[in-house]
Amino acid sequence: MGLTWKQRVFTALLGAAAVSGLTTLILILVGATHVLLPADTKFGIVFDAGSSHTSLFVYQWPANKENDTGVVSQALACQARGPGISSYASNPEQAGESLQGCLEEALALIPKAKHQETPMFLGATAGMRLLSQKNSSQAEDIFAAVSQVLGRSPVDFWGAELLAGRDEGASGWITINYILGLLVKYSFSGEWIQPLEGALVGALDMGGASTQITFVPGGPILDKATQATFRLYSTSHSVYTHSYLCFGRDQMLNRLLTALVQRSPGLLVRHPCYHSGYRATLASGPLYESPCIQAAAPADPGQNLTVEGTGNPGACVAAIRDLFNFSGCDGQADCAFDGVYQPPVRGPFYAFSNFYHTFHFLNLTSRPPLATANATIWEFCQRPWKQVAGSSPGQERWLPDYCASGLYILTLLVEGYGFSEETWGGIEFREQAGGTDIGWTLGYMLNLTSLIPAEAPTQGRAQSCGVWVAGVVFVVLTLTAVLGASAVQLFWLQD
C-alpha cells in the first residue's frame, strides 16, 4: 500500500528538518527551555549564617503575587565550606571568602537578566550574637568583610545583619506553616484560600548556640516581649515566641563539659554522658572562650584534660538539669525555666534542625511514645563505646555527643517547655517538608516579598509566546518550501 498524504507530509518534514541543520534545532530547544520558567519569575537569595555553618537558599516566586505576598518555592540549597562566620574572628576576610562558592552556584542558577532585581540578604544568628557580646568590634569586622564580598555581586544586596532571636523563631514558624499549606493554598475551584487558624502548627528549632519555641497559644499572650505579630496573605497572625541563647546543642555540650570540669578535683574528668570505654584528651582553654560560660578560665589555658566516659544516663540527666534554672519559675504560672514566661503548649509541633538530626540518628523520628523515646536513649547511652563506634564507622567526631543531645532534648521539651505524654505525640521531627528545608530563611523571604512590588508580566508572556511562535513559523516555512502552500493549508484544516 502506498503512503497516505499525511505520511508523505511528515516524511517530507523530517527530511527538511534534518537538512535545515542541527544549529537551528538547538536554537529552538534552548529558547523553549525558557517556557519552563516564566519570564515574570522573581528570585531571592538568603544566607543563613549559623553558629556552626552557613547555608545559602535561593527562592523563586511569580511576580503576580497573592494578596501582596509572594507564593515562594525553594530553588537551591547550598552549604558554604568551613565553619560559621563567627569562627573567623581572627581573620574576617575568610568569612567573606567562605561564601563565594555558594554565591556562584546561585548566580549560575538565576538568569542573568534577573540578577539586578534579585534581593540578597545575610542573616546571622546565635553564633554572631555571642561574638557581638564578647567582642563587638570583631563582629563588626566580620559583617564588613561579608558585606564587601556580597556587595560586589551583580544582585541587589540588601545587607548583612544580626537576626534577633524573636525574628528567627517567628520566621521558622512562618516557614513550616507555609510549606504545609496552612497559611495559604490553592483550592480546586482555582482560588487562593486561607485555612482555619486552628490548623496551624508550632515550631521547635535548635541551632548550635540557641533554641527557639514558637506557637499560637490558646489564650492571650500576657508578656508582650514574647509576642510576634505579622501579616501574610491578607491575614494577621500573632504567635508566642522565645529564643534561648546558650541553649543550642553545641553551647549546651560545652556548658555541660565545663560544669563537669569544675567539679573534678584534677585533670581527669569522668563524663556520665559519654559511653563507657570512651577516652579523649583536650585543651581546657577553649572551653571558656564562649560568653555562655560563667566560670573563670584556668590559669594555664593550654593545660590538657583527659575525659573518660562512664555511660551513666541517670547521672547524665542530673548534670543536664543543672544547666536549667527551674527554680526561677517557682510560684509563677505559665513559666518555662530561667523565669521565662510561656503559656501552655498547644497543637501539633514540627521540631527541626538539631532536634531532627539527633532523633534521626537515634531512630526516633517515627513518633514513638515518650516512654519509648526515653527508654531508647537510655539504652543507647549504656552501650560501650567500642560497640557504638563499630556500628557507625566514619562518624567518630559526632558519636560521643548523641547520648547527651538526646537526653538534653527530652529534658528541654518535657521539663522545660512542658510537653507531656499526651502532647508528645503531636511533635513531628522533620528536616524537610514538601522537598523544602525547614528553617527561618523561607519565612523571612515570605515577609521580604511583601516589600517587593509586583510587575506586570506582559513582556514575559510575550517572550514566552515568541518562542512557540518562532517554532510554528519554522514548521510552516519548512512545509511550504517542500510541499507548497496548498499542501500546508490542507495539513492544518484536515483531520
Q: Which residues are catalytic?
A: 168
- What is d(CA 39, CA 108) in angstroms, rounded to the nearest whole number? 17
Pairing of strands 41-49, 54-62: antiparallel
Query: Which residues, 6 or more positions from 217, have their beta carbon under 8 angstroms from its beta carbon?
Result: 240, 343, 344, 346
Cell numbers standing for residue 173: 514558624
Q: What is the DSSP string of 158-222?
A: EEEEEPPHHHHHHHHHHHHHHHTTSS-EE-TTS-EEPPPGGG--EEEEE-SSEEEEEE--SS--S
- Distance of alpha carbon 14 from alpha carbon 212, whole angstroms: 62
> How do beta strands 436-437 and 227-232 pair?
unpaired
Please give the sequence-ordered ranges of beta strands (E in DSSP) within 235-389, or none if there are none.
Answer: 235-245, 268-271, 279-283, 304-309, 349-353
CB 209 within 8 A of CB 244: no
* Angstrom distance (rounded) from CA 191 to CA 184: 10
Residue type, 445: M
Core vs surface per residue 394-423: b (16+ CB within 10 A) or e:
eeeeebbbbbbbbbbbbbbbbbbbbbeeeb
Alpha carbon 405 to its chain's center: 20
DSSP class of residue 366 equals T
Q: How many Å apart are CA 419 and CA 321, to the nearest integer?
A: 16
Dist. CA 361–CA 377, nearest whole Å: 11
Q: What is the DSSP string of 378-433?
A: HHHHTS-HHHHHHHSTT-TTTGGGHHHHHHHHHIIIIIIS---HHHHTTEEE-SEE
d(CA 161, CA 143): 7
Q: Among 176, 180, 173, which residue's Cα sits nearest to residue 212? A: 173
Cβ-proximal residues to 129 (8 Å cutoff; 6+ apart), any chain: 162, 165, 209, 210, 245
